[in-house]
């Protein structure tokens, strides 16, 4: 099993040929595996999901940064999603029994290398943050790229690595280590972005909503619909189903409804199992009750009951 996941977010979601080159660069090392590519033209953003060894990911990510700086010019970029860099954010996530310290070390090493090789200002966030006030990504990204020159005039906003100036075409980059994040969006039957923004305010933690939920409201021009875009930063505190139920209630109160939802990138299986437990009111549901899991374990010589202990919802 690979020890680390990495989920780089790139400010490009409209040019398939560029996205293909970015994905190829990100998976260029033999010790890195590309698991998923999720792109959205309205957000003008691509999320890659990688898994690999710390060494393999380091080499692949340097190749990704090199390709992104050659392909993405933020002076020509537009999209509804907030961004501060061509490679906007690069989080490392420990997998299995890997300690968080391994992800933090990978983030610090990449940050230093990116700053030295490409002249990019690098900010560390979440568990890798060196400045407590900059732990949350939303704080770093407030004001977006356009607001960064003014930020850098304040010594408190000196980057963790690299020059205290915005790169002319690639902006800045944010690198960190964190727990699993589920990017989950709800598309509404209205084109009114203010309805989506109102729902987002009611749902997100910072406005008194659900714990570990961050949310924004957008208008998706290509679909002609509004969207509530959510990051569930700890599904153990707020599940996908709880977030969706809250969005549905808030939408109905405003005369709207959810017509579809989206997952961006990959989701931990335990998060999906939790949804099934909640929806079915079946707290003892475990993977050991899933036919294919039991058959797979039996083929490998394991007893079905040993697949997984029962887990509280």
pLDDT in tens, 214-236: 999 999 999 999 999 999 999 99
- Beta pairing class for 225-232 and 213-220: antiparallel
Task: Exactly one of 43, 58, 77, 81 is catalytic; name it.
Answer: 81
CB burial of residue 312 (10 Å; 0-12, 13-18, 19+): exposed
Mean pLDDT of the 11-23 span: 98
Residue in the structure block whose two tokens are 């997998």: 95
CA–CA distance, 53 with 230 (Å, rounded to integer): 29
Query: In terms of domains, do 67 and 194 share one?
Result: no
The answer as to whether 232 is a domain residue is yes
Helices (H), 189-268: 193-203, 240-253
Query: In terms of domains, do 37 and 134 share one?
Result: yes
Query: In terms of domains, do 208 and 302 share one?
Result: no
Query: In terms of domains, do 48 and 77 share one?
Result: yes
Query: In terms of domains, do 28 and 135 share one?
Result: yes
* Domain coverage including residue 243: 182-268
The whole-number pLDDT of residue 301 equals 65
Give me the helix-helix angle, 193-203 and 240-253, nearest 10°: 130
CA–CA distance, 135 with 20 (Å, rounded to integer): 31
**Prediction pTM value:** 0.92
Query: In terms of domains, do 69 and 160 share one?
Result: yes
The answer as to whether 311 is a domain residue is no
Per the annotation, the verdict on 77 as an active-site residue is no
The answer as to whether 204 is a domain residue is yes
Query: In terms of domains, do 167 and 220 share one?
Result: no
pLDDT in tens, 274-283: 999 999 999 9
Query: In terms of domains, do 40 and 79 share one?
Result: yes
pLDDT in tens, 245-293: 999 999 999 999 999 999 999 999 999 999 999 999 999 999 888 888 8
Query: In terms of domains, do 78 and 19 share one?
Result: yes
The answer as to whether 313 is a domain residue is no
The answer as to whether 225 is a domain residue is yes
Query: In terms of domains, do 136 and 172 share one?
Result: yes
Query: In terms of domains, do 101 and 237 share one?
Result: no
């Amino acid at each position: 099993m690979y020890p680390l996941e990495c989920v780089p977010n790139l400010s490009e979601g409209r040019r398939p040929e560029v996205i293909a080159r970015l994905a190829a660069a990100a998976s260029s090392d033999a010790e890195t595996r590309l698991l998923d590519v999720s792109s959205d033209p309205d957000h003008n953003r691509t999320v890659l999901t990688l898994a690999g060894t710390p060494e393999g990911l380091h080499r692949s990510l340097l190749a990704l940064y090199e390709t992104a700086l050659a392909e993405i010019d933020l002076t020509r970029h537009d999209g509804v999603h907030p961004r501060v860099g061509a490679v906007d954010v690069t989080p490392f996530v420990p997998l299995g029994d890997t300690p968080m310290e391994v992800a933090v070390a990978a983030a610090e090493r990449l940050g230093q290398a990116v700053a030295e090789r490409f002249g990019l200002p690098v900010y560390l966030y979440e568990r890798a943050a060196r400045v407590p006030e900059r732990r949350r990504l939303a704080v770093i990204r407030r004001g977006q790229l356009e607001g960064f020159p003014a930020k850098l005039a304040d010594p408190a906003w000196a980057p963790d690595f690299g020059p205290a100036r915005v790169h002319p075409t690639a902006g800045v980059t944010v690198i960190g280590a964190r727990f699993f994040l589920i990017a989950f969006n709800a598309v509404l039957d209205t084109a009114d972005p203010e309805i989506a923004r109102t729902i987002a305010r009611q749902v997100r933690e910072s406005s008194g909503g659900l714990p570990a939920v961050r949310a924004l409201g957008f208008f998706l021009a290509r679909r002609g619909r509004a969207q509530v875009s959510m990051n569930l930063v700890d599904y153990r505190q707020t599940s996908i189903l709880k977030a969706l139920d809250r969005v549905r209630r808030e939408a109905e109160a405003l005369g709207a409804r959810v017509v579809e939802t989206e997952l961006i990138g990959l989701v931990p299986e335990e998060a999906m199992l939790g949804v099934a437990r909640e929806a079915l009111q079946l707290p003892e549901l475990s993977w050991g009750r899933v036919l294919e899991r039991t058959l797979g374990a039996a083929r490998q010589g394991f007893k079905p009951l040993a697949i997984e202990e029962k887990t509280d919802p």
